[in-house]
Amino acid sequence: MIVFPIFTGQAARLLRVAERRLHEAVRLGVVCPAIVSGRRLWRPDEVLAAAKWLGLDTPEVRNACQTVPPAAAGREGGAR
């Protein structure tokens, strides 16, 4: 399971698209991930919105976007 928030590169790998496709979604206002230290942090709902916009809203993506309880989040990898 993925621990959110994740960076753009991780979101691109999850959706199996080039990062430029996600940048296009941001530019067009489909999603608006937070920017922290110059990097975009994607929440599960933003990844799902981008997936829908790209036509990639699959059960695999929806399952990957399920959130991890905070207690378990510290034991798994992911952006912090």
Whole-prediction pTM value?
Answer: 0.82
Q: Note whether 12 and 18 are within 8 A (CB).
A: yes
Q: How many domains is the chain partitioned into structurally?
A: 1
Q: At residue 53, does pLDDT exceed 90?
A: yes
Q: Note whether 25 and 32 are within 8 A (CB).
A: no
Q: Which residues pair with 36 in a beta bridge?
A: 39
Measured between alpha carbons, how far is 9 from 42 in angstroms, rounded to an integer? 10
* Domain coverage including residue 50: 6-73
Q: In this structure, is residue 80 part of a structural domain?
A: no
Q: In this structure, is residue 25 part of a structural domain?
A: yes
CATH of the domain at 41: 1.10.1660
Q: In this structure, is residue 18 part of a structural domain?
A: yes
State the average pLDDT over residues 19-24. 97
Q: Which amino acid is at 7?
A: F
pLDDT band at 50 (very low <50, low <70, confident <90, very high): very high
Q: In this structure, is residue 28 part of a structural domain?
A: yes
Cis peptide before 5 (omega within 30 of 0): yes
